[in-house]
Amino acid sequence: MSEEITANNPLYVELADRLRTDIESGVFGPGDRMPSEPSLCRTTGHSRSTVRKALQLLVDQGYVTKSQGKGTFVSELPQRVEAASKMTPTFLSFTENALSLGATPSTRTIDLRNTTPTPGLAEFFGVTETDELFEVTRLRSVNGEPVMLETIWLPLAYSGLTGEELDGSLYQALKARYGKEPANGTKSIGICYANSRESFQLGVERDSPLMLIEDHVFDQDGAPLHVSKQVLRGDKHQYSMHMPRVVG
């Protein structure tokens, strides 16, 4: 029997199904790099052709994206989600944006601290203004150049997260350590003007116009998971979203 065919499906389809299950179960989280083709050949026993076809099938289905010379990465907004919500625009993440442009994204955690919430944060998290939240500040870069300063607020229960963990995927860290993952929320986009800290970190003049993105996210149990504020250099980084197909 040919290696490529089993009694029911081509082997590359079966391998794609296995990898898809790993993605959906969280073994590989959003933004994670998938094992290389040689690594998959060694661990699965399949030929390079079978592995390549399986990965391409996942690309075609929207589960992963390929970046020339860098590898294959799990999509944060796979097409299966778009198919389930045809009338809802879906926003690409910072990581997926950069990868789709053939660029190399990176993240560096620059501050971790406990802080008291603003009235808006206290209302979202259901705490008082004298309680504390866990605040994370990260500098995100494309091809080594800073383009985004991100501040994230989480319940104090997640203050065990380390800078090393947060230099990678926030959602992967939350799932691995606490079993929590995002389910739904809201996103708003606007314009702000660089304060002194943003000016210094992003290398722009004070009061320069910047893109402002704010997320309010709930976990799979419906509890508040995080609020994030992302300040971006629009001259250095594009922010994309997929629009639903319009019929008429």
Q: How far apart are CA 135 and CA 151, in angstroms?
A: 7
Q: What is the tally of helices (H) and strands (E) in the chain?
A: 9, 10
Q: What is the mean pLDDT of residues 67-77?
A: 82
Do 143 and 150 meet the contact criterion of CB atoms below 8 Å apart?
no
CATH architecture under which domain 105-242 falls = 3-Layer(aba) Sandwich (3.40)
Q: pTM for the complete prediction?
A: 0.61
* Burial zone of 116 (CB within 10 Å; 0-12 exposed, 13-18 middle, 19+ buried): middle
Q: How far apart are CA 233 and CA 194, in angstroms?
A: 10
Given the structure tokens 């060694």, which residue do they identify? Answer: 42
Q: Which of 63-72, 94-103, 144-153 has the lowest mean pLDDT?
A: 94-103
**Higher-confidence residue: 97 or 24?**
24
Cβ atoms within 10 Å, residue 98? 24
Q: How far apart are CA 72 and CA 153, in angstroms?
A: 30
Q: pLDDT value at position 102?
A: 72
Q: pLDDT value at position 239?
A: 58
Q: List C-alpha distances in Å: 75 to 89, 97, 233, 247.
A: 16, 10, 23, 26
**Higher-confidence residue: 77 or 19?**
19
CA-wise closest residue to 213 among 155, 166, 118, 148: 148
Q: Which of 27-36, 94-103, 145-154 has the lowest mean pLDDT?
A: 94-103
Q: How far apart are CA 219 and CA 83, in angstroms?
A: 22
**Higher-confidence residue: 189 or 154?**
154
Q: What is the mean pLDDT of residues 104-132?
A: 93
**Higher-confidence residue: 60 or 32?**
32
* Burial zone of 46 (CB within 10 Å; 0-12 exposed, 13-18 middle, 19+ buried): buried
Domain boundary assignment for the chain: 11-82, 105-242
Q: Please name the residues in contact with 173: beta carbons below 8 A apart, sequence gap of 6 or more.
A: 161, 165, 166
Percent of the chain surpassing pLDDT 70: 81
Percent of the chain surpassing pLDDT 90: 46
Q: How far apart are CA 213 and CA 41, in angstroms?
A: 41
Given the structure tokens 């778009």, which residue do they identify? Answer: 82
- Concatenating the DSSP letter of every residue in 24-50 gives HTTSS-TTPBPPPHHHHHHHH---HHH
Q: Tell me the pLDDT band of 114, cut-offs 50, 70 and 90.
A: very high
Q: Tell me the pLDDT band of 14, cut-offs 50, 70 and 90.
A: confident
What topology is assigned to 11-82 in CATH? Answer: Arc Repressor Mutant, subunit A (1.10.10)
Phi, psi of 122 (to 5 degrees): -60, -40
Please determine, for residue 68, whether its predicted confidence score (pLDDT) is greater than 70.
Answer: yes
Q: pLDDT value at position 77?
A: 56
